[in-house]
Structure 1
Amino acid sequence: MKTTWLKTALAVAVGALSTQAMAAGFALNEQSISGMGTSFAGRSSSADDATTLFGNPAGMSRLKREEVSFGMAAIHAKTDIKNNSGSFSSPVPALNGPIEGSNDGDMVPFTAVPMGYYVKPIDDKWAVGVGIYVPFGLVTDYESGYQGRYFGDYSEVRVITVQPTVSYRFNEKLSVGFGPTINRIDGELQSASPNAAGPLGSNDGRVKVTGNDTALGFNAGLLYEFTPQTRAGITYHSKVAYTLEGDTKLSGAGFDVAGASGKYDASLDLDTPESVDISLTHELNDQWTLYGGAMWTRWSRFEAIIIENDGIPGPLQGNLAPIVEEQDWHDTWSYAIGAAYKLNREWTLRTGLAFDQSPTNNVHRSPRIPTGDRTAISFGLAWNPTDDVTVDLAYSYLREEEVDINRSRTYQGGALEANYDATFKNRAHGFGAALSYRF
């Protein structure tokens, strides 16, 4: 029983941690408020402010003055759950029956995402900078008594990245940039476990998985200006190789009865995949600027997850060979178009439309990350009261396609099986504000 839950909980942990790097789901795409206003179209070619350090480090060479930018994005998500059903099945007739519980769908709390950047031009060729941002994260907290609690009722993942960066301008047309990334990841996952020794659903056990690591990666970019009005950019975000160290804690009546309560050491290797962002920016005239872009993410490297366990004493040690959990994800593309309209010297309006694919499939999708392909529309506003100050505001609305969750899991050596089926549909509102100051 202990080994089964250790395998299952850690496998789900890896899935939840890695999925947050993708564009779809509840991933965090908000590293720039000015970019948020155009749905991140032109992210690798716009180079309008210090946030280009993330979007394309080569764009720092376009900034003429020392600049600092601080911002915050807030995300409010809502999920509708319908067509739900849950049941226990067992060779023992007395254990067959429904899984009771609710499906409120209010499992994503209001979440804030901070960011900060500093860029300093050294001369006409060189610029340096540093950025702190949150590339991805997740909080899902289902209500107590959620019907799908055996497949995950609490998930929290946070990644904070620090990126020192340098850019070099070869000539009037070509610039390059590079920055190593220092990434700190922390995660916590919880779920319930049924106890066949008592009334099913009334004396569950609890599984809590925690882990963290710090790992290195890099971002590199190239910016080419065909004319003073038209430029193209390409940015490569590297994979990041993590080795998460943590533990699995089993507690509650369900594990006390089996004598399995306690903490067990666990570790796993995880590579988040690389991505390539390409975009085009064209200044149509003094008022209109058009943006377009696409991003490819190599999620197909997640064919399987291999988990290593130790620290469990006694005869269970013989079952701790590497554990393989199939993922079978696929590569994804995201696309965005946008525009900006300059009303006058002080005010600029922005808008954008984006489409993001999800790498998950119906076989492996779980309540922890019940996401599908998404469409988002955004609006933005920039206010320049002086040449030194810019205030950016943005709003995004996104909705996802309906997706089905069909999960089953066995317990007590196959003596009991829990089943949960439901249809999820997610939508979210995003709000952002940022202040940029040029010295």
Structure 2
Amino acid sequence: MNNKKQQAQAFLGLALLGGLMVAAGSAQAGAFMTPTTNAAGWGRAFGGGSLFKDDPSSAYNNPAAMAFIDKNISQFTLNYANIDIKYKGAAYDYSGRPTSSTTLDPDTFEPLYTERTGNGGQAGFEAWVPTGFLVMPINERLNFGLSQVVPMGARTSYDDDWKGRDFAVDTKIETVAITGSLSFKVTDDFSIGGGAILQHTSGFLSRNVDLYAAAAQSTDLGNIPFAAGQGFSLMRVKVDNTSLGWFAGIAWQVTPQDRLGLNYHAKIKNKLEGRYNLYADPASRAIMTTPVIDGKTLVELAYPGLTLNPDGANATSRLDIPANASLDWVHEFTDRLAVGVSATWTDWSSFKALTLKSNGNNIVSIPYRYKDAWQISVGGDYRMTDDLTLRTGVSFDQTPTPDATRDPSIPDGDRTFVSLGFGYKVRAVPGLSIDGAYSHQFVETVKLRTENVDRLGGATLDGKSKARGDVVSASLTYEF
């Protein structure tokens, strides 16, 4: 192939990769991390990572493995995720009574209390998630890689007036990233690699703040027994940020049949900035704006130093992306059968709490106290013919969420992925291949027995969350 044609095709691959920088959701893994792989990886349930032959997803997952790719490869993947989440159980206000809402009788204007009985409806989501990878050899020892991935994402959406609205209504977390990486073949059998990641994180959440219940629990006010559930005060927070990170790896062709890889993705500090808004009924708005004693509102008296602006204000929060490391192994039993095993550790214990600040003051801090977690995966390829490859795999993904701090915004549990997939070389178009995969997630039914912090009203949930998920993935790969 002449250099001008090769350069043109490379430029086209880069342009198409850049055009994928739009994502509509996430195919969720543990907590709010998401798999960063292609259809072949989904078909193997992530077993072996990116160590299988000519896998361009190594551009992000383990850049050292790019060194064993001796051709230009561009790949584009579209994942469809359908996640089903349902809650069933009870909810109580700070005084132990079933949660209720207050409305006014249209005839007498007297307050009417109605117990909130809804379980929130279908809190899951559907999403389309694109990813792309490009690997280009520079010379016999140096390769360049480019990728677009969605390394973090979560989505839940409950009915506005469900019994657990003081814990969650809408939650969305999503990171879209582009990366550049290099690999260097130190010897014919050993390589190193590294890369940089530029990512944009956006977050959105809404939940009701029971201001009267919060005031009732204030020792500064002497624990006045205000009634819970009066009116509504829906807080909506929207924040985003762009941040930088790095990753690195090594790959070793131990024998002609065995390849080992180790990769590390460093923790990325992520300070999100944006705005919060409060949508409150007149009574709730009044206790945020009407002075009661010494020019201070009821909210300021209940929590000294806390000022809530019902018209909204700036908001900041930290949502650091934890470090993770993977050890991968691929063994080729024959020229048709290969099996891969992976173990991935994620430093979730670095995520202690989600704190919302405004003008330097803490509005609320929600403890999560995540624990480190492991994912173990086994999967493989069987080449039926020179053109058709079949894949399967299974993966166990441990939740980092303790029972005591699990809430309905991310009702995470241990999950098991069971996957099937295929790859097909399109002989009519030299260099073109198609991959497809289907993965089902069996998610542990988890307990939601948690208590809200005082500033959010101190309500409690006592129930269970049941979830399941399906992911369909399709990739187009072109070698040139």
Match of 2:42 in 1: 36
CA contact (8 A) 1:88 1:98 kept: no
Question: How do residues 374-393 of structure 1 correspond to structure 2 at under 5 angstroms?
Answer: 374-386=415-427, 387-393=430-436
Match of 1:405 in 2: 448
User: Which residue of 330, 342, 353 maps to 1:293?
Assistant: 342
CA contact (8 A) 1:211 1:246 kept: yes
Q: Offset at 1:196? A: 5.0
Cα separation, partners in 2 of 1:410 and 1:157, compared to 1, 3 Å? closer
Q: Offset at 1:146? A: 2.1
Q: What per-residue deviation string (whole Å, max 9, x for no partner) do you get for residues 316-360 of structure 1?
A: xxxx36976543221111101112100011100000000011111
User: Which residue of 250, 254, 257 maps to 2:286?
Assistant: 257
TM-score by length of 1: 0.86
Structure 1 spans left out of the alignment, 5+ residues: 1-19, 312-319
**1:108 & 1:88 partners in 2: Cα distance?**
25
**2:90 & 2:151 partners in 1: Cα distance?**
35
CA contact (8 A) 1:81 1:103 kept: yes
Q: Identity of aligned pairs, percent?
A: 28
Structure whose alpha-carbon radius of gyration is higher: 2
Match of 2:140 in 1: 124
Match of 2:166 in 1: 150
Match of 1:74 in 2: 80
CA contact (8 A) 2:168 2:408 kept: yes
Aligned-pair Cα RMSD in Å: 2.9
Match of 2:369 in 1: 328
**2:424 & 2:38 partners in 1: Cα distance?**
16
Match of 2:261 in 1: 233
Match of 1:3 in 2: none
Amino acid of the structure 2 residue aligned with 1:422: G
CA contact (8 A) 2:100 2:116 kept: no
**1:323 & 1:287 partners in 2: Cα distance?**
57
Match of 1:8 in 2: none
Cα separation, partners in 2 of 1:301 and 1:194, compared to 1, 3 Å? closer
Once structures 1 and 2 are overlaid, which stretch shifts more, 125-134 or 253-262?
253-262
Cα separation, partners in 2 of 1:276 and 1:98, compared to 1, 3 Å? farther
**1:86 & 1:224 partners in 2: Cα distance?**
54
Q: Offset at 1:398? A: 0.8
**1:94 & 1:85 partners in 2: Cα distance?**
9
Match of 2:180 in 1: 164
Cα separation, partners in 2 of 1:224 and 1:255, compared to 1, 3 Å? same
Q: Offset at 1:228? A: 2.2
Cα separation, partners in 2 of 1:344 and 1:171, compared to 1, 3 Å? same
Cα separation, partners in 2 of 1:209 and 1:53, compared to 1, 3 Å? same
**1:28 & 1:410 partners in 2: Cα distance?**
28
Question: How do residues 81-100 of structure 1 correspond to structure 2 at under 5 angstroms?
Answer: 81-82=87-88, 84-90=89-95, 99-100=115-116
**1:93 & 1:363 partners in 2: Cα distance?**
20
**1:409 & 1:181 partners in 2: Cα distance?**
36
- How many residues matched? 409
Once structures 1 and 2 are overlaid, which stretch shifts more, 84-93 or 236-245?
84-93
Q: Offset at 1:44? A: 4.2
**1:286 & 1:79 partners in 2: Cα distance?**
42
Cα separation, partners in 2 of 1:299 and 1:333, compared to 1, 3 Å? same
**2:375 & 2:150 partners in 1: Cα distance?**
19
Q: Offset at 1:87? A: 2.5
CA contact (8 A) 2:262 2:327 kept: yes
Amino acid of the structure 1 residue aligned with 2:233: G
**1:336 & 1:288 partners in 2: Cα distance?**
17
Match of 2:397 in 1: 356
Match of 2:476 in 1: 435
**1:75 & 1:432 partners in 2: Cα distance?**
9
CA contact (8 A) 2:167 2:408 kept: yes
For the residue of structure 2 that corresponds to 1:236, the secondary structure is strand
For the residue of structure 1 that corresponds to 2:64, the secondary structure is helix
Q: Offset at 1:308? A: 4.3
Q: Offset at 1:309? A: 3.0
For the residue of structure 2 that corresponds to 1:257, the secondary structure is helix
Structure 2 spans left out of the alignment, 5+ residues: 1-25, 102-112, 214-225, 290-308
Cα separation, partners in 2 of 1:418 and 1:303, compared to 1, 3 Å? closer
Between structures 1 and 2, the one with greater strand share: 1
**2:378 & 2:474 partners in 1: Cα distance?**
21
For the residue of structure 2 that corresponds to 1:110, the secondary structure is strand
**1:92 & 1:328 partners in 2: Cα distance?**
28
Once structures 1 and 2 are overlaid, which stretch shifts more, 85-94 or 256-265?
85-94
Match of 1:5 in 2: none
Question: How do residues 98-137 of structure 1 correspond to structure 2 at under 5 angstroms?
Answer: 99-103=115-119, 105-137=121-153
Cα separation, partners in 2 of 1:307 and 1:78, compared to 1, 3 Å? closer
CA contact (8 A) 2:31 2:400 kept: no
